[in-house]
Structure 1
Amino acid sequence: MENKMDNQTVTMAHGAGGKQTSELIDKVFAAHFANPDLTADDAAVLTPPVGKMAVSTDGFIVSPAFFPGGNIGKLSICGTVNDLACMGAKPLYLTCAFVIEEGFPMEKLEEIAAAMEKTAKEAGVRIVSGDTKVAGKGQVDGVFITTTGMGQIEDGVKVGGELAQPGDAIIVTGDVGRHGCTILLAREDFGIEADVTSDCAPLWHTVEEVINATHDLHVIRDATRGGVGTVLYEIAGQSNVGIRLNAEKVPVAPEVKGVCGMLGLEPLYLACEGRMVIMAPKAEAEKIVEVLHKCPYSQNAAIIGEVTAEQPGKVVMTTEIGTQALLPQPGGELLPRIC
């Protein structure tokens, strides 16, 4: 697509509401987000879903905005689509709000919009409305994006962090910690070179396949900020249950394990952007994992532990040498901070 805005940067005039604002919206956003529900009016008029609806909002301020495996645009779609999917909801509509720093390259902004277009198409969700603001130099770190998503909850599906039950199997849909490790290395603070790519991915179709295989699901949660370890502590608290993990069963890519070893980090506490924790009765677990192995973003899915009635609110891990250790409860500043 020919774009006359190449080699330009975003100026304060692009946020003033006049001609330049219209140019920015038309040539960057509308050009990539075009669909029958995208509105030029003050609000989109939509057909509501049948039955129950899930709604989620998330803000994205990742630094750097471009990283191996994605950028802030792809992330802004995946994050909200995945939050809806965790409630068993098929994503239907998204709105997005941009806050752009004066001087941000127009070429980079279009790259972000193109990633959003591609990811939304893959997820089957329509961007229907948005907002654009320009902040002065130094007021924003490049670009911030907030997305709100609406989805239709599938019939017969009821999941939530308070529904975990003793005897449930704990499944993770792939190797953990890759996004957090990628962001850490992309900042170049440590001078470590490792071939690590973010797991950032839209997961609705993965969840859909699991739902099609069984409705006997208790918890689905995406392990974003704080990683799998933080999510497990959250669920243990919500459901008042204990969590027992087997360290040997937790999938970690060798390159992530190597970086974590050098820096003294625990992969379970590093962010994922394409991984979910699923809790379901043990009788369903092998079937769920078999389904996950056939999906593109969950080929390393594994059963990593079980829910117990003992030690409610705690996460205990059986180590590789057979001893049991209490996984430290997350607190303070989680590193690397991803948002």
Structure 2
Amino acid sequence: MEKNMVTIAHGSGGAATSRLIEQTFKKHFDNDILSQGDDCARLDIGDARNLVFTTDSFVVTPIFFNGGNIGKLAVCGTVNDLATSGAKPLYLSCGFIIEEGFDLEDLEEIVKTMSATARECGVKIVTGDTKVVQKGAADKVFINTSGIGVIPDGLNISGKNAKAGDKIIISGTIGDHGSSIFLERENMGFQAKIQSDCAPLSGMVQDILSVVPDVHVLRDPTRGGVATTLNEIAVQSNVSILIREDSLPVKREVQGVCELLGMDPLYMANEGKMLCFVSEDKSERVLEVLRKNKYGKDARIIGEVTEERQPKVLLKALSGGNRIISVLAGDQLPRIC
């Protein structure tokens, strides 16, 4: 009998990834901190309170793309995961796995971009590691980054905190990163020039929290897109979510690419967007703050948490009916981040 094997779908961030985590990693690693289930772990170590820690690995191809490169993506992705807790990011590590024969000038450009992005975020890269493998044992370069931050006293932001009546805000247009990577990778002759939204969002989050500190949930919808992320939050909080198709901010070029290729922007990866769950009476204030930030100028309310205590996500279609939006079942595009 053929043994079960890891497939590309296990790295999609969708249903296969969840099964892999639950049936393999969580089965053996489970503890009270890991079971928090958020994008970063909240830690109390001795007198050091409210620390958060996260790690991520980046294998995107191509490594240089319209809007950034694998180095910028690595810093932004890790900083943004810390920001989902409301933390101020402080320190990063970086580990490089480099294929023999990789161009040193390209490596320097990646490292230089990481340095510039870290400065923008106000974080320091304080430790790291370098490994070189023989040609063919990797694909150019892979990067792992870990991050540490501190949550201000009084903040309690988690995927478990969505409440009935919360408005759901997205900080900008969806599907930009996934569409950009697909066009560059496949070289299909499209005229559309779609730029990845890869961006560091910690400053934008701090802007929000300085005005509305009682945000319930923050989450960056990366692999699996907005649809998968909303499903994860629905399960964590045991709530139902309703979003509206006519409220989803999608660039015309992204919509066109998705329609031609049979893809859905709701499942396309984002690397510079944040979902925010906040009580209705605070939602307009959050929108006002977001729209003053260069990374949030296209922010929009896309739905709300309903009274129904059942974990599911519904889309109110333009036609007027509702349909269930599930997690990503397969893998629209591998190696997206």
TM-score scaled by length of structure 1: 0.84
**Structure 2 CA distance for partners of 1:292 and 1:189, relative to 1, 3 Å:** same
Residue in structure 1 matching 2:314, options 303, 313, 316: 316
d(CA) in 1 for partners of 2:48 and 2:309? 41
Residue in structure 2 matching 1:76, options 74, 77, 81: 74
What's the CA shift for 1:333? 2.1
What's the CA shift for 1:190? 3.3
1:88 counterpart residue number: 86
1:257 counterpart residue number: 255
Q: What is the one-letter code of the residue matched to 2:252? A: P
d(CA) in 1 for partners of 2:150 and 2:104? 35
Residue in structure 1 matching 2:204, options 190, 203, 206: 206
- Give the CA RMSD over aligned residues: 1.4
d(CA) in 1 for partners of 2:164 and 2:70? 38
Identity %: 51
Residue 166 (str. 1) matches residue 160 (str. 2): no
2:231 and 2:326 in contact (8 A); partners too: no
What's the CA shift for 1:337? 4.2
1:55 and 1:149 in contact (8 A); partners too: yes
1:260 and 1:266 in contact (8 A); partners too: yes
1:221 counterpart residue number: 219
Instruction: Specify the SS of the correspondent of 1:51.
Output: strand
d(CA) in 1 for partners of 2:309 and 2:250? 26
What's the CA shift for 1:199? 0.3
d(CA) in 2 for partners of 1:224 and 1:183? 13
2:305 counterpart residue number: 307
1:272-311 map, 5 Å: 272-310=270-308
2:52 and 2:87 in contact (8 A); partners too: yes
Residue range with higher mean Cα deviation, 306-315 or 106-115:
306-315
1:93 and 1:125 in contact (8 A); partners too: yes
Instruction: Specify the SS of the correspondent of 2:209.
Output: helix
d(CA) in 2 for partners of 1:226 and 1:194? 23
1:142 counterpart residue number: 140
Residue 118 (str. 1) matches residue 138 (str. 2): no
Instruction: Specify the SS of the correspondent of 1:260.
Output: helix
- Deviating beyond 4 angstroms after TM superposition, the runs of 4 or more aligned structure 1 residues are none
Q: What is the one-letter code of the residue matched to 1:136? A: Q
Q: Deviations over 1:242-288 (max 9, x none)?
A: 01001111101111011011111110100000001110111110000
1:185 and 1:193 in contact (8 A); partners too: no
What's the CA shift for 1:329? 3.2
**Structure 2 CA distance for partners of 1:49 and 1:322, relative to 1, 3 Å:** farther
Residue range with higher mean Cα deviation, 203-212 or 186-195:
186-195
Higher RCO (CA 8 Å, separation ≥ 6 residues): 2
1:155 counterpart residue number: 153
**Structure 1 unaligned regions, length at least 5:** 1-47
What's the CA shift for 1:50? 5.7
Q: Deviations over 1:190-233 (max 9, x none)?
A: 33231100000000000000000111111000011111111000
Q: What is the one-letter code of the residue matched to 2:175? A: G
Q: Deviations over 1:301-336 (max 9, x none)?
A: 000000013262211111112221112332222335
TM-score scaled by length of structure 2: 0.84
Residue range with higher mean Cα deviation, 261-270 or 317-326:
317-326
Q: What is the one-letter code of the residue matched to 1:179? A: H
1:335 counterpart residue number: 333
2:65 and 2:181 in contact (8 A); partners too: yes
Instruction: Specify the SS of the correspondent of 2:49.
Output: coil
d(CA) in 1 for partners of 2:190 and 2:80? 30
d(CA) in 2 for partners of 1:182 and 1:139? 27
2:267 counterpart residue number: 269
d(CA) in 2 for partners of 1:214 and 1:255? 34
Q: What is the one-letter code of the residue matched to 1:120? A: A
Count of aligned residue pairs for this structure pair: 292
d(CA) in 2 for partners of 1:329 and 1:86? 20
Instruction: Specify the SS of the correspondent of 1:52.
Output: strand
d(CA) in 2 for partners of 1:110 and 1:49? 39
Q: Deviations over 1:72-108 (max 9, x none)?
A: 0000100000000001110100010000000000000
**Structure 2 CA distance for partners of 1:336 and 1:250, relative to 1, 3 Å:** farther
Larger-Rg structure: 1
1:97 and 1:132 in contact (8 A); partners too: yes
